[in-house]
Structure 1
Amino acid sequence: MAFELLTPSEMAEADRLTIAAGPVDGIGLMRQAGCSVADVVLQRFPGAKAVHVLCGPGNNGGDGYVAARLLAESGVAVRLFTTAAPRSGGDAALAAAECSVKVEPLAAFAPESGAIVVDALYGAGLSKPLDGEVVEAITRTNSAVVPVISVDLPSGVSGASGEIMGSAFQATVTVTFARKKPGHLLYPGRAQCGEVVVADIGIAAAIVGATSVRCFENDPAWWRRHFPSPANDAHKYSRGHVGVFSGGPSATGAARLSAMAAARAGAGAVTVLSPGAALAANAAHLTSIILRRSDTLQDALAFLGARKPEVLVYGPGLGSEPEIGRFALELMSVAEGRFAALVLDADGITSLSHRRAAFFEARKRPNAPALVLTPHHGEFGRLFPEIAADASLSKLERARVAAAKANAIIIYKGPDTVIAVPDGRAAINANGTPLLATAGSGDVLSGIVAALLAQRVPAFEAACAAVWIHAEAARRFGPGLIAEDLPLALREVVAALSG
């Protein structure tokens, strides 16, 4: 599977490099793209009484002209509507010249019952909102509820951000080329794409790599080789030790969810670090999970010295008071030689919003531990208010900027979770499910991340794997899921990946 995601500019560079390498030229790529679109129409809708092809003035429209010609040659009744003629001398003009289907103005377009609409108006590189007759055509089409095949992306969806630029087609199938674009996976555009078909038009994998692509679809295909499998001579501490800080007597459940998830995700030992006042509550619910009293930084340091955990989870159920943030900073300051990584979730993130300057300064230290932050939209806005408020940034870009600012891996949660690292690499998750919209599911995610880090999975891959596993477990469990179900539901997913 090809899992790179190409931005519109990277896709343009891939086209350029392919043409420069030869023997294919620009019109050759366009013919391949249009042929792919026509093939999807013929395969998916062989009984369609007519196909209406809507062409814009650019290369997306050129793909449409090719598709219209091939469909007409196949005996399909085709009508072709355009906004304007292609620029003279360009590849789209060549494609238009090869197409003998009568051209009608877009203003005359009205989708017929039983017809298929091919949307070839604007592709991934759209940079300004649609208006006028294009919006009217989109409105008529969406209201008619006819099948729509969109070329590259539904017109109106930004390929870079997934933003809806004024209005957008609701596609049944989107046919894109070489690789998916971020806009296919980022909401709200993702909801407009329908099924996404990636067509091979002759752009080689080496060419894609030469674009310096830095964004990926989160898929086991590219991180599975890092997934841990215990050696025959493994013991519990060689499989990694995770420490999870617990809240007070009335808020212990979140830490236990995280701890159990860490154990199910493969950590050999998991310890819940509990305030003295909550020991009885935690002891009543824990069996295989180790329980240790920890009220102060000195208590935590004693645990670190004695048990040497690789990873700590801090935040679930702790409360959002400023003192919680102060303790997180103290943990980071004593990390060197004591633990390798810290997963900050939930209240741990919110509490640091009271100490943002001190937090960002602490992250500049050369001995700072590896850090994974797992904010949902609200928590992200509290810790990174300026980034969250910048309307010019997509969710992907916001995660990247935040990762660089905090020198941390950011798991920016949501139906289109983005995982970003300070060096600019990022992944967009595609298997998210609304089943995870339940209290406590994020605590489970933090435990999975910690377990994989403790088993020495590289940090970016650990974060990506955890996000995918978390969603896959929920999908396999199905409706009725609550957070308490998730740790046990991990077993089937982890077993499949280990095998």
Structure 2
Amino acid sequence: MSKKQLTELLSIDQMADAEKLTISSGASGLSLMEAAGRSVVREIRRRWTRRPVMIFVGPGNNGGDGFVLARILGDLGWPIKVIDVLERGQWTRDAKVNADRWCGKIEKYSGNVISDNTLIIDAIFGAGLARDVDGGITRIFNDIRDQGLSVVAIDIPSGIDGNTGKIRGSALRANLTVTFFRKKIGQLLMPGREYCGETVVKNIGILDEVLSQIGTIKYENVPMIWKDHFPNPAPHMHKYNRGNVAVIGESVMIGASLLASAAARRIGAGLVTIMFSDNNLKWSPSIEPGCMYKQIKNSNEIIDQFKEKRYTCALVGPGNGQTKNTENNVISLLKNSITTVIDADALSVFHECPEKLFENINGNVILTPHEGEFRRLFGDFENKVEASINASNLTKSIIVFKGYDTIIAEPQGRVAINSNASPYLATGGTGDVLSGLILGLIGQGMPMFEAACAAVWLTGGISRKIGPGLIAEDVIKNIPSELKQFV
């Protein structure tokens, strides 16, 4: 199984279809279940020595996987207790076969049988949970949490929605999650990502060929999906053909424009011009001497500059203020079909009438809202991925829905979910840096979807390496070392 294939993310229905197609091609459900259980055993033995194991089994195939694991670990001499959480004592099809193969007891949960070194196996519901977890199972979750026991989840922690990452009533936090064939979408979205702990993907015999038959695929954002498009300068190139980009600044918060401009330069843009009102031109060059500066008075002058200087693209929004001038700048850029990254104030200024923004977009636009900005423009939502897709289709633009689980969606159907960010990115200026990185990459000719994915991944990777104490300038300074991984 190649690394490229492992970037794919599946919905619950897609995973079910993948299993059905594999079985219809000649594999048996029992063989898949046996492989799943054995793969979990291997991951357990890599991390833990022999100890008591309590396996909580549910009524479906996830419970069947648990019985396989109980049988194999029991044969290896591990002390095993199997707990039927629903106390039905009934299983069907492949799960029943493996329940019958288990020769030990199947007990009810008594609430006082867990010793301190017991390893907990969550084989209750898996990714296909279709209802909220009830109070009886919540009590089990709470007992395990209160004792601080190590938990291994089969497929996905019980209580986590496999499509949205949301908690269905309550959920059991895992130290290790062993999932099969591909990661599920909910394993990258918050809070599901945090509840999974370490996530390991195991091949249990499902055919890679089924991916082309189960609908549009989402991807985990990793360099594999964009690095071949990353702009690497050739020996004959010079600053004039490495991207001539413009950042529309204002006097409200000039630091935002300066951060974005520095990021665009650091990622490789050949020329970066900041278009400022005149009261900033006296001292801004001393902060970013590598940028060029141009005084502008209104949106007409911005367009004149684009026609004269042949800028490749623009960034509007960081530090611009929610003013009529900002609104005019955005609409002028869009009406003149200028490739534009729209961020921050340039999004929020349209919160009372989003249609005024949407109706002027005609392609080659990236919108970079955080959750508050997204809700003001597009309304409330239940499913972050679907909301991003709908917003992209509505606006005919690429959406970068920022957050700990940033989603990049394009109208053509591609979706990438980022998973490498750290919470230390939640500090002023990092969003400006991100928009500047996107600007610098598309200015050099990188395709817009791939540019957005690359910028998000680079920002996240740096945030993890720096950790506590991160400020926006740190992201810019560490771009060169991060690029050395693949450039």
TM-score range, shorter chain: over 0.9
RMSD: 1.6
Residue in structure 2 matched with residue 92 of structure 1 by the alignment: 95
User: What is the DSSP-based 3-state SS (H/G/I as helix, E as strand, rest coil) of the residue aligned with 2:265?
Assistant: helix
1:250-286 CA-to-partner distances (Å, cap 9, x unmatched) read 5211111101100111111111111122211323323
Q: Would you say 1:189 and 2:192 are equivalent positions?
A: yes
Q: TM (normalized to structure 1)?
A: 0.93
Provide the C-alpha distance between the structure 2 equivalents of 1:440 and 1:26, rounded to a whole number of angstroms.
Answer: 51
Per the alignment, residue 79 of structure 1 pairs with 81
Q: 182, 196, 201: which is aligned to 1:179?
A: 182
Shift of 1:29: 0.3
Alignment of 1:23-62 (within 5 A): 24-48=27-51, 50-62=52-64
| Counterpart position of 2:10 | 6
Q: 1:109 to 1:242 in 2, by over 3 A?
A: farther
Separation in structure 1 between the aligned mates of residue 216 and residue 42 of structure 2, nearest angstrom: 29
What code does the residue aligned with 2:347 have? I
Residue 365 of structure 2 aligns with which residue?
A: 371
Deviation, 1:369, is 3.7
Residue of structure 2 aligned with 1:63, choices 59, 65, 81: 65
Q: Distance in 2 between matches of 1:242 and 1:152?
A: 46
Aligned equivalents of 2:81, 2:324: Cα separation in 1: 65
Q: CA deviation at 1:148?
A: 0.7
Counterpart of 1:212?
A: 215
Shift of 1:110: 3.8
Query: Which secondary structure state, in structure 2, belongs to the residue aligned with residue 353 of structure 1?
Result: coil
Deviations 1:199-256 (A, max 9, x none): 11112322233323421111112211111111111111211111001111x5211111
Among candidates 262, 275, 278, match of residue 277 of structure 2: 275
- The C-alpha deviation readout for 1:152-188, integer Å capped at 9, x for no partner, is 0110001100010111111111110011111111111
Task: Name which of 162, 166, 181 aligns with 1:163.
Answer: 166
Structure 2 residue aligned with 1:240, among 240, 243, 251?
243
SS of aligned partner of 1:312: strand
Mean Cα deviation higher: 299-308 or 481-490:
481-490
1:119 alignment partner, one of 112, 119, 122: 122
Amino acid at match of 1:37: V
Change (3 A) 1:284 1:43: closer
- Cα deviation for residue 14 of structure 1 reads 0.7
Residue type of the partner of 2:343?
Answer: D
Partner of 1:301: 303
Q: State the partner residue of 1:355.
A: 353
Q: Is this contact kept in 2: 1:326–1:352, CA < 8 A?
A: no
2:388 aligns to what? 399
CA distance in 2, matches of 1:114, 1:177: 27
Given candidates 448, 452, 455, the residue that maps to 1:459 is 448
1:139 to 137, 142, 149: 142
Alpha-carbon distance, 1:361 to partner: 1.8
Name the CA distance, whole Å, in 1 between partners of 2:447 and 2:143. 50
The alignment-based identity, stated in percent, is: 37
Q: Which amino acid aligns with 1:118?
A: I
Q: 3-state DSSP class of the match of 2:183? A: coil
2:377 alignment partner in structure 1:
383
Q: Contact conserved, 1:54 with 1:120, CA < 8 A, in 2?
A: yes
Give distance in 1, aligned partners of 2:110 and 2:125.
Answer: 16
Deviation at 1:351, TM superposition (A): 0.8
State whether residues 363 and 397 of structure 2, in contact with CA within 8 Å, keep that contact through their aligned partners in structure 1.
Answer: no
Change (3 A) 1:459 1:16: same
Corresponding residue SS for 2:8? coil
Amino acid corresponding to residue 202 of structure 1 in structure 2:
G
Q: Specify the code of the residue in structure 2 equivalent to 1:15.
A: E
Q: Which residue of 1 aligns with 2:340?
A: 342
2:50 and 2:78 in contact (8 A); partners too:
no
Is the Cα contact below 8 Å between 1:10 and 1:213 reproduced in 2?
A: no
Distance 1:496 1:177 in 2: 28
1:103 counterpart (101, 106, 110) = 106
Q: Among 148, 151, 154, which residue is 1:151 paired with?
A: 154
Q: Which amino acid aligns with 1:447?
A: G
Q: Secondary structure at the match of 1:438?
A: coil
Over residues 73-124 of structure 1, what are the superposed CA-to-partner deviations in whole Å (9 max), with x where a residue is unaligned? Answer: 1111111111234443x11111112211211124567422111111100011
The alignment partner of 1:362 has SS state of coil
Instruction: Provide the secondary structure at the position in 2 that maps to 1:497.
Output: coil
Asked if 2 retains the 8 angstrom alpha-carbon contact of 1:328 and 1:348, the reply is yes
Q: Distance in 2 between matches of 1:228 and 1:166?
A: 46
Q: Is the 8 A contact 1:477 1:489 kept in 2?
A: no
Tell me if structure 2 keeps the 8 A contact 1:109–1:137. no
Mapped partners of 1:284, 1:43: distance in 2: 56
Contact 1:27 1:91 (8 Å CA) reproduced: yes
- Is residue 434 from structure 1 mapped to residue 428 from structure 2 by the alignment? no
Distance 1:32 1:442 in 2: 44
SS in 1 for 2:179: strand
CA contact (8 A) 1:187 1:416 kept: yes
- CA deviation profile, 1:292-339 (whole Å, cap 9, x unmatched): 11111221122111211111000000001244223211210012xxx3
